[in-house]
Amino acid sequence: MDPQNNMENEAKMFLSHAKTLRLHTGNIVNRSRLKKKCPCSPSEELQDCIQAALSDWKAATKPPSNDFPDTLDCSIPQPTDAIPPEEREELRVSVKLFLCEAGESSIRDAVEMACQTLAVSQLDSVIIAPTWPLAEGENQSLAHLQPAWEELESLVRSQRIAAIGTSDLDKDLLEQLYTWAQVKPSSNQVNLASCCVMPPDLTAFAKEFDIQLLTHNDPKELMSAATFQEAVQEGTQDLSAAIWRLEWVLRYSIIVKSRGIIKAKGYLVSAGKESQ
């Protein structure tokens, strides 16, 4: 049998048996593996990263030693991903977690995967971005945030995370969260595409309570279900792949504290199989 066809068949078998797919793109600061070498939107970058990672995984696929796993790890380990212990104090690990579905277990799973992948015991900061769709006419409220925030607080208490922050909260919702939370938000990201100037009331509140205001350019929906499925199909060349449902996306940046430069950046992704 043609070795190429054999690897593709084995990759399809893995995908057909798995119930959960986990993916690590590796460090993308060096974009040599990606199709688009120039800067692009966060959504395009993620799609390109998923395709490249799955393509690399498919090329390295080998038959399982025992049964096919329920959780399929589609990562290609790279020596540069893990942080050496002697360099840890010099580096800051910042994370933004996009939750595509409600579920506190996803937060713990994402944080644990990040710590294992980067070989660290603690993430310096985690910003949470709930992106799951709300009911028509419903706006994000404190009740939507509370379960996820409580899980983040638990991870702070267990020293898995040092500081936690939010994304795209207006002054009223940020104040509600700050008043209710036991572990206060240390930062709040603002999308300058929809707000070219920081709202004065938000700026005043953040200054009073020592909350750092950051900017970002992430779209409200980082990746649609259709785009994710397209990326999986493109990366595996398996047009008959089962429909995969994006659960969460974690983007990490490893920053050299003394110089403020990004040493490494990458994505971790989790998806579940749609019930048949």
Say which residue the tokens 């990562």 belong to: 75
Cα–Cα distance for residue pair 180/93, rounded to 1 Å: 27
Q: Which residues of the chain have pLDDT under 70?
A: 1-9, 31-39, 62-66, 77-80, 133-138, 194-196, 239-242, 275-276
Strand (E) or helix (H) holding 161: strand 161-167
The pLDDT score that the predictor gives to residue 38 is 60
Nearest to 226 by CA among 274, 182, 184, 186: 274
Say which residue the tokens 């030693």 belong to: 65
Cα–Cα distance for residue pair 149/126, rounded to 1 Å: 11
pTM: 0.90
**8 A C-beta contact, residue 168 and residue 191:** yes
The pLDDT score that the predictor gives to residue 193 is 74
The pLDDT score that the predictor gives to residue 37 is 55
Cα–Cα distance for residue pair 194/210, rounded to 1 Å: 24
Cα–Cα distance for residue pair 89/124, rounded to 1 Å: 11
Handedness of CA 241, 245, 247, 249 (dihedral sign): positive
The pLDDT score that the predictor gives to residue 164 is 98
Q: Give bridge partners of residue 22 from the DSSP assignment.
A: 73, 270
Handedness of CA 166, 222, 42, 171 (dihedral sign): negative
The pLDDT score that the predictor gives to residue 1 is 44
Structural domain boundaries, residue 33: 3-273
Torsion of CA 37, 268, 117, 161, to 10 degrees: 120
Nearest to 257 by CA among 37, 91, 29, 145: 91
Q: How many structural domains does the chain have?
A: 1
The pLDDT score that the predictor gives to residue 273 is 85
- How far from each other are the two terminal CA atoms of the chain, in whole angstroms? 31
Q: 224 exposed, middle or buried (CB, 10 Å; 0-12, 13-18, 19+)?
A: middle
